[in-house]
Amino acid sequence: MFRLFRYLRGYVRESIIAPLFKMLEASFELFVPLVMANIIDVGIKNGDTAYIWRQCAVLIFLGVFGFGCSITAQYFAAKASMGLGTGLRRDLFHHIHGFSYTELDQIGTPTLVTRLSSDVNQVQTGVNLLLRLFMRSPFIVVGAVVMAFAISPGMTVIFLAAVLLMALAIFLIVKITVPIYKKAQNTLDRVMLLTRENYVGARVVRAFSRQEDEKKEFAGANDLLKGIQQKAGRISALMNPVTYVLVNLAIIAILLQGGVQVDTGMLTQGEVIALVNYMNQILVALIALANLIITASKAWASAARVNEVFDTPSTMKEGERQVKEKEEAPAVSFSHVNFTYARAGAPSLTDISFKAEKGETIGVIGGTGSGKTTLVSLIPRFYDTTGGEVCVSGVNVKEYPFRQLRRKIGMVPQKAVLFAGSIRDNMKWSREDVSDQEIWEALEIAQAREFVEKKDGLDEQIAPGGRNLSGGQRQRLTIARALAGKPEILILDDSASALDFATDAALRRAIREKTRGCTVFLVSQRVSTVQQADKILVLDDGALAGVGTHRELFRNCEVYREICLSQLSKEEVAAL
């Protein structure tokens, strides 16, 4: 938690003013019982109406001034805590963006979302209450005991005993509830995971009529969360009755002992009332302190979870300066590359070596799970190899700054992802200064121009995730987005799976004719997609089973021949 206080550096003034004004408010509050005692012992006893009115005016002044101090303190505390929350979210978001796919896979999206939202909110709320109550509540308790000692040193023993017993009760309750709140935050991750899966996969859930099963699973996780929170709530709920019982017992003791001392003339009636009021102030202050401790405990647990993300370093460090590329080198080269996913039992790629010259079209084909997507993900360095090296333009990808490397590469992933906004906004993701003419050219190559023109053109608004478009339309727009940046290397990772054969063929023809000089990687399970490629890589269980042209591989590569025979007609096979 203390590590996160660095985000208050820009709010030092607010962090000082807020508790100071709360202390000032508490000081005025401590004078109220003395004024009440004077009204009883002087004004009422002597029947002095003017004195009573003057003391009432003092009470009003103390109340108004204390209220003003409280408002001022809350304003500055809120400003400081909001500033901390804003800075924390910003740095956490930036830190997460520095993660490689390895860290993202290990931590998981639902956990990151929970920590970026719920946990940061808990920390922000905890800091807000800390600035307002951390000094005020102890000051009220100590001040009330001191004021009680000034009135009657003998009665102070009752105050000290009550304070110690209430502090012990609060300590025990907080000690029990803190681990429960930590468990509740971890359970919230599970609820977030189920929520995300059901919203993202709503069509799949309904297609398999799994709504009731998913509802039951969500209800189970939700009930578990409710049970944990109720357990913590039940224990926390003991705080008020326990402290109130202790305070009321202390008040009874004050009244009994005070009555005796009033009879003997050692105390006045007003002083007894003042002592009772001080005891009530201690009660309110300790209850506020207890609530602060519970909130701070939640914030502490959340801060630990946030720090876990900060303490997770990216396994991928980018190059510090622009690299000088080698003009005569291949566009992409793999040299004895091995790769194993974190916590995986077996390697996904084994001893992969090949070269892709500038302007070549490289087909990548293989069965499901053969490592096709993993292979092309190493080119833009989404993952780091566990052995061997990947070079782009003759330079190891580990030496490139991310921006320089990825500006050279147009990546179209398997899942078409579009963002809320206009088509123009989405096309500018590849390059901010891309012109409308360049966008239309990219749309034409991607076979998307026709359906875009039928809509509102480049101003057509896309719903979040592209929900208002068909699967084929989303794929074509993501291809156009990559082409708009005029990349030197274009990677199409099975990105035409939703297109019909005619559109797929037209797309490949347009890419071949209008992107000359661009090295293209076509990842597909369709032989028809890769058969015209200059070079085809055949993957089988993470190993390179063959490299060559369509004809060469059909004759010499058993794996490729089996794929062809399963997809091509007898006439097409005979033509080979």
Taking 90 as the threshold, does the pLDDT of residue 192 lie above it?
no
Query: Which pLDDT tens digit goes with each residue over 447-489?
Result: 888 888 888 888 888 888 788 888 888 888 999 999 888 899 9
Residue 438: phi, psi to the nearest 5? -65, -35
Tokens of 380: 């833009």
Distance CA 167, CA 173 (A): 10
Taking 80 as the threshold, does the pLDDT of residue 203 lie above it?
no
One-letter amino acid identity for 106?
Q
Per DSSP, the three-state class of 335 is strand
Mean of pLDDT values over 137-156? 83
pLDDT at residue 535 in the model: 92
Contact residues for 168 (Cβ-Cβ < 8 A; gap 6+): none
Which is more confident, 286 or 576?
A: 286
Distance CA 38, CA 44 (A): 9
Give the distance from CA 279 to its chain's centroid: 44
Residue 445: phi, psi to the nearest 5? -65, -40
Query: Other C-beta atoms within 10 Å of 72: how many?
Result: 17
User: How does DSSP assign 77-138, residue by residue?
Assistant: HHHHHHHHHHHHHHHHHHHHHT--HHHHHHH-HHHHHHIIIIIHHHHHHHHHHHHHHTTHHH
Taking 90 as the threshold, does the pLDDT of residue 429 lie above it?
no
Query: What is the 8-class DSSP label of residue 523?
Result: E
Taking 60 as the threshold, does the pLDDT of residue 574 lie above it?
no
pLDDT above 70 coverage of the chain, percent: 98
> In whole numbers, what is the pLDDT of the chain averaged over residues?
85
Structure confidence at residue 517 as a pLDDT band (50, 70, 90): confident
Predicted TM-score (pTM) of the model is 0.70
Out of 293-297, 334-338, 480-484, 555-559, pick the least confident.
293-297
> What's the per-residue H, E or C state across 265-309?
CCCCHHHHHHHHHHHHHHHHHHHHHHHHHHHHHHHHHHHHHHHHH
Q: Let me know: does 128 contact 73? Beta carbons within 8 Å.
A: no
Beta strands in 464-555 (DSSP E): 489-493, 519-523, 535-540, 543-548
pLDDT at residue 572 in the model: 63
Structure confidence at residue 440 as a pLDDT band (50, 70, 90): very high
pLDDT at residue 519 in the model: 92
Structure confidence at residue 363 as a pLDDT band (50, 70, 90): very high
Strands 361-366 and 519-523: parallel
Residue written as token pair 């009115």:
53
Taking 80 as the threshold, does the pLDDT of residue 573 lie above it?
no
pLDDT at residue 351 in the model: 92
Domains, the chain: 2-310 (1.20.1560.10), 358-381+401-575 (3.40.50.300)
Query: Which pLDDT tens digit goes with each residue over 57-106?
Result: 998 998 899 899 989 999 999 999 999 989 999 999 988 888 888 888 88
Query: Which pLDDT tens digit goes with each residue over 218-260?
Result: 888 888 888 888 888 888 777 778 878 888 888 888 888 888 8
pLDDT at residue 222 in the model: 87
Tokens of 15: 């962090």
Distance CA 18, CA 546 (A): 71
pLDDT at residue 575 in the model: 57
Taking 70 as the threshold, does the pLDDT of residue 266 lie above it?
yes
Distance CA 473, CA 449 (A): 10
Q: Which of 131, 121, 120, 147 is nearest to 30 (CA)?
A: 147
